[in-house]
Chains A and B, each alone.
Chain A
Amino acid sequence: MIAMRGVNKWFGQMRVLADINLTVAEGEKLVICGPSGSGKSTLIRCINQLEHHQMGDIVVNGVKVDAELKTLDLVRREIGMVFQSFNLYPHMTVLQNLMLAQIWVQGRKRRDAEKVARHYLDRVHIPEQADKFPAQLSGGQQQRVAIARALCTKPKILLFDEPTSALDPEMIKEVLDVMTELATEGMTMICVTHEMGFARNVANRVIFMDAGRIVEQGSPAEFFSNPQSDRAKLFLSQVRLN
């Protein structure tokens, strides 16, 4: 579904992605972890080309993506994204947030779009908030709206960029619960997260990154019980395993 071959990216002189090779199969749940500044977010942001890579190939659903691709918007429609800071549209109600891309990107009728939007609000367990504005919701509710918004366009892949890092501890659980439900339904998911409990319970594969490289990857059981590299051992000794 996603194939990255020899992907490199620089910010100015700094090499933030170094020779990334990664393939993701349909239905796979990947967790990417690693210290901050290791290139995790940049990696997943290259998949939908919010960041453009400078070397190597990225193929998503059989389409090679890069900055020159004219049909980039078509590829992006197949990929949903959830951000650390939610990025809901503050001038629209929750329902309008969920309907915007459906109507203006996918050309769905208003009535159908509303039906789909309400369906996914139910799925994230906040149907009663449909007519509120994002600023009137708690952080956890906002992030669940953001997940529903990403789902509304029926994407084939969901990208999560540290979805719980901006949340209070008690709100993290409600967001992780929704993500776990999605995972059990077979959605292809790539999550950058520091939630090691989520990685252990939900992921098929854990990717450990450091200094722009994939240092280690494996099943959560292998990775958590028997990390190979010293860097991963050090990292795991320092994060709280919950």
Chain B
Amino acid sequence: MAIDPTAFLPPPVVSAGPWAWMRRNLFTDWRQTALTLIVLYAVIRGVPPLLGWLFVDATWQGTRDDCVANGGACWAFVSARWGQFIYGFYPVEERWRVNVTFAVLAVSVVPLVLPMVRGKAWIIGFLLTLYPVLAFCLLYGGVLGLPVVETARWGGFMLTLVVAITGIVGSLPIGILLALGRRSDMPAIRTFCTLFIELFRAVPLITVLFMASVMLPLFLPSGFSLDKLLRALIGVAVFNGALMAEVVRGGLQAIPKGQYEAATAAGMGYWRMMGFVILPQALRLVIPGLVNTWVAIIKDTTLVLIIGLFDLLGIVQAGIADANWLSASVTKTGYVFAAMGFWILCFSLSRYSMYLERRLGLGASR
């Protein structure tokens, strides 16, 4: 049999080289050319001044007067206030406790992100049970001879992380339970969950935080008081749990009836069916929605400012107002710094979720 010579030809090369690429992608016709030129103009006008402000004219050391003289970003301000931005009003000699808390977290999270590590269930178990206790003991103190550091002294990036992480970790189980409850066959549970979700979804987070900090103590028995931060944490977790519930419910609705039937026919009860068959599939489907909510939680931590807690943005704002540093360049630098802090958190979460989606999607695609 004769071999068809064309079977071994490589796919035809349309054109090669940077010039051909630019012709094809940037200067296809007059409209593309016009857009390319406009964007190019904006980049040329925008980027060099920005880089100049950020680096060339920036002041790395010195005082406000040096910053005003140089005209660029005032990194001197950030480095002078660095400790406060990260730890808030946490006592300097106790800051190692914060470092240890987050170092332990980082060390436990890294193996979770790597696909080849085994025994992830144990690490997750540690993070969800022992770690919160450990973190509380370290950060708050009062045990093992550690002096108590009142939560009123917590602040800055550390407080942002505490609120964001409890919000993220707390809202998912609350959301899952509410979503399951809303689809329950039992009318009492269904009604309760639906009302709960609709109530918290229809109210701004600020209202929830105000309620938690001002109204809640009125309903508690006298002599019994909850810490202000704790109340805020509960408020954030419950509010976002209600949002999360609707994301999870969307995933539950996408699971075919046959999956429920196969699990039921195998004799699995409700919780086993949900835990092993339905939820793993449903949560995988809604990763983009989950991460969306998580990113929103990180950004919403800034709202704790209104009940008198100083998160990263709050403490930066307080620093800007300091009479020793008051100037336009310090103000700009402060906000840029705070924005970068949030951007790093949110962007890394978003990248991780994309990676997770790709990896989990490998076998499950139908």
Q: Within the assembled complex, what's the spacing in Å between the Cα atoms of A153 and B281? A: 23
Q: Are B366 and A135 in contact (CB under 8 A)?
A: yes
Cβ-based interface call for B18 (8 A):
no
Cβ-based interface call for B259 (8 A):
yes
Q: Are B266 and A90 in contact (CB under 8 A)?
A: no
A-B contacts, 18 of them at CB < 8 A, read A50-B261, A50-B264, A73-B269, A80-B265, A81-B262, A81-B265, A86-B258, A87-B258, A87-B261, A87-B262, A90-B281, A90-B363, A90-B366, A91-B363, A101-B267, A104-B272, A135-B363, A135-B366
Q: Within the assembled complex, what's the spacing in Å between the Cα atoms of A48 and B264? A: 9
Task: Digitize A128-161: 1 where CB-to-B-CB distance is under 8 Å, 0 elsewhere.
Answer: 0000010110000000000001000100000000
Q: Are A85 and B363 in contact (CB under 8 A)?
A: no
Cβ-based interface call for A79 (8 A):
yes
* Complex contacts, B264 vs chain A, CB 8 Å: 50, 76
Cβ-based interface call for B280 (8 A):
yes
Q: Within the assembled complex, what's the spacing in Å between the Cα atoms of A85 and B261? A: 11
Task: Digitize A68-104: 1 where CB-to-B-CB distance is under 8 Å, 0 elsewhere.
Answer: 0000011011011101011111110100000011001
Which one of A86, A91, A105 contacts B266 once the chains associate, using CB atoms below 8 Å? Answer: A105
Q: Are A133 and B364 in contact (CB under 8 A)?
A: yes
Residue of B nearest to A76 (CB): B267
Q: Within the assembled complex, what's the spacing in Å between the Cα atoms of A50 and B262? A: 10
B181 to chain A minimum Cβ distance, whole angstroms, is 21
Which residues of B approach A to under 8 Å, CB–CB? Answer: 256, 258-259, 261-262, 264-269, 272, 276-277, 280-281, 284, 360, 362-366
Q: Within the assembled complex, what's the spacing in Å between the Cα atoms of A81 and B272? A: 18
Given known contacts A90-B281, A135-B366, A100 and B276 CB-to-CB distance under 8 angstroms: yes
Q: Within the assembled complex, what's the spacing in Å between the Cα atoms of A80 and B362? A: 29
A192 to chain B minimum Cβ distance, whole angstroms, is 14
* Complex contacts, A76 vs chain B, CB 8 Å: 264-267
Task: Digitize A150-176: 1 where CB-to-B-CB distance is under 8 Å, 0 elsewhere.
Answer: 000100000000000000000000000
A79 to chain B minimum Cβ distance, whole angstroms, is 7
Residue of B nearest to A74 (CB): B267
Q: Within the assembled complex, what's the spacing in Å between the Cα atoms of A194 and B184? A: 36
* Complex contacts, A79 vs chain B, CB 8 Å: 265
Q: Within the assembled complex, what's the spacing in Å between the Cα atoms of A48 and B262? A: 11
Q: Are B364 and A101 in contact (CB under 8 A)?
A: no
Given known contacts A73-B267, A104-B268, A89 and B365 CB-to-CB distance under 8 angstroms: no
Q: Are A105 and B258 in contact (CB under 8 A)?
A: no
A62 to chain B minimum Cβ distance, whole angstroms, is 17
Q: Within the assembled complex, what's the spacing in Å between the Cα atoms of A197 and B363? A: 36
Residue of B nearest to A103 (CB): B276
B260 to chain A minimum Cβ distance, whole angstroms, is 9
A154 to chain B minimum Cβ distance, whole angstroms, is 12
Q: Within the assembled complex, what's the spacing in Å between the Cα atoms of A220 and B277? A: 39
Q: Within the assembled complex, what's the spacing in Å between the Cα atoms of A88 and B266? A: 12
Residue of A nearest to B365 (CB): A135
Residue of B nearest to A91 (CB): B364
A54 to chain B minimum Cβ distance, whole angstroms, is 17
Q: Are A93 and B267 in contact (CB under 8 A)?
A: no
Q: Are B259 and A153 in contact (CB under 8 A)?
A: no
* Complex contacts, B269 vs chain A, CB 8 Å: 73
Residue of A nearest to B265 (CB): A81
Given known contacts A79-B265, A81-B265, A153-B266, A105 and B363 CB-to-CB distance under 8 angstroms: no
